[in-house]
Amino acid sequence: MINSKKAVMIGCGFVGSASVFALMQSGLFTEIVLIDADKNKAEGEAMDISHGIPFASPMKIYAGDYDDVADAAIVVISAGAGQKPGETRLDLVNKNVAIFKSIIPEIAKRNFAGIMLVVANPVDILTQVAIKLSGLPENRVIGSGTVLDSARLRYKLGEHLSVDSRSVHAFIIGEHGDSEVVAWSSANVSGVPLSEMCEMRGHYKHKENTAEIATEVKNSAYEIINKKHATYYGIAMSVKRICEVIMRDEKSILPVSHMIHGVYDIDGVSLSMPAIVGADGIESDIPINLSGEEALKLKESADSLKKIMETIEL
């Protein structure tokens, strides 16, 4: 646990900048440093976001360099090539592993003692790459994982049932990507099982409705990318939420990407499962109930990530 209220954002593209904008409004930090390969871009974003400080709370937002990570509580890494229309998150692997090979050793050199939050895609692979390259304890390297996918799911279910999405408890687990799994078995609305709640609200076609919602959630990033070429507001709010949980030591349960050891027969691969998150990063996994089919799909998701990991030279 580090006693600092400083965050560093590495990568000032759409996701990095939108995340800093969300963090500026959160009041969690007194200092936010922006680092980018293009120093002018980092300076421009820092200036632009700083002009909102009079409407938020006092803090310093400025462009910096890797020396700034030494005393940071959280370093967020959003640097990397973005997903283009028609590309899957896994298509980005080699481009972004190369970028991480230049970034992570720089952080490691500074004896960084905080939490590393990986947001760049494919997030599960890059979280595992960051653990290997940084030498940090596994609990202190977290990927944003399926926090956003789960929020999209809760939003859709909230709309479907006409209830507040904050009362919907449902997780997407596994890869943040095409093999993600909706944990329907454990989904509930304030403790009421989902199927029961659906019937209360006049929905009886469970199989069709759940399949449709799962597909919409899985494809929503592709749809947004096709329409506006990038997704950044939803992930920015996810980054803010993860940072809140860490900075306030909330011990909240989030489906973040982290190294899994022995949950549902999965070992030595980074993917999303609900975990207790606090000031020290990952505290422990939460074993959620899955149906046999869901557990099988989760294992398949893990195996597909493992295969890709095996092709990466570090």
pLDDT tens-digit profile of 143-160? Answer: 999 999 999 999 999 999
Residues 6+ apart with CB under 8 A from 64: 8, 33, 34, 35, 42
Q: Which token pair is 193?
A: 């099982």
The model's pTM: 0.95
What is the C-alpha separation between 27 and 84, in angstroms, rounded?
33
160-191: per-residue pLDDT in tens?
Answer: 999 999 999 999 999 998 899 999 999 999 99
The closest alpha carbon to 305, from 164, 168, 127, belongs to 127
Sign of dihedral through CA atoms 90, 149, 80, 141?
Answer: negative
Q: What is the mean pLDDT of the chain?
A: 95
Annotated binding site for substrate: 83, 89, 121-124, 149-152, 231
Annotated binding site for NAD(+): 15, 36, 41, 66, 80-81, 102, 119-121, 144
| pLDDT value of residue 92 | 81
Return the axis-axis angle of helices 123-134 and 93-109, rounded to nearest 10°.
30
Question: What are the residue numbers of the active site?
Answer: 176
Is the pLDDT at 1 greater than 70? The verdict is no
Q: Mean of the pLDDT values across residues 289-304?
A: 96
| pLDDT value of residue 89 | 67
Measured in whole angstroms, the distance separating CA 70 from the mean position of its chain's CA atoms is: 23
What is the C-alpha separation between 107 and 9, in angstroms, rounded?
12
71-115: per-residue pLDDT in tens?
Answer: 999 999 999 887 777 777 677 898 899 999 999 999 999 999 999
Annotated binding site: 15, 36, 41, 66, 80-81, 83, 89, 102, 119-124, 144, 149-152, 154, 169, 231
Q: Which token pair is 249?
A: 């030591």
Residue with tokens 């999965």: 266
Name the residue type at position 243. C
Q: Mean of the pLDDT values across residues 265-288?
A: 96
What is the C-alpha separation between 78 and 42, in angstroms, rounded?
13
Q: Mean of the pLDDT values across residues 212-231?
A: 92
The closest alpha carbon to 5, from 63, 57, 66, belongs to 57
6-40: per-residue pLDDT in tens?
Answer: 999 999 999 999 999 999 999 999 999 999 999 99
What is the C-alpha separation between 309 and 314, in angstroms, rounded?
10
Q: Sorting pLDDT into bands at 50, 70 and 90, what band is 57? A: very high
| pLDDT value of residue 34 | 98
* More confident site: 313 or 192: 192
Annotated binding site for beta-D-fructose 1,6-bisphosphate: 154, 169
Task: Reduce the secondary structure of the chain to three states and give it as a string.
Answer: CCCCCEEEEECCCHHHHHHHHHHHHHCCCCEEEEECCCHHHHHHHHHHHHCCHHHCCCCEEEECCHHHHCCCCEEEECCCCCCCCCCCHHHHHHHHHHHHHHHHHHHHHCCCCCEEEECCCCHHHHHHHHHHHHCCCHHHEEECCCHHHHHHHHHHHHHHHCCCHHHEECCEEECCCCCCEECHHHCEECCEEHHHHHHHCCCCCHHHHHHHHHHHHHHHHHHHHHHHCCCCHHHHHHHHHHHHHHHCCCCEEECCEEEEEEECCEEEEEEECCEEEECCEEEEECCCCCCHHHHHHHHHHHHHHHHHHHCCCC
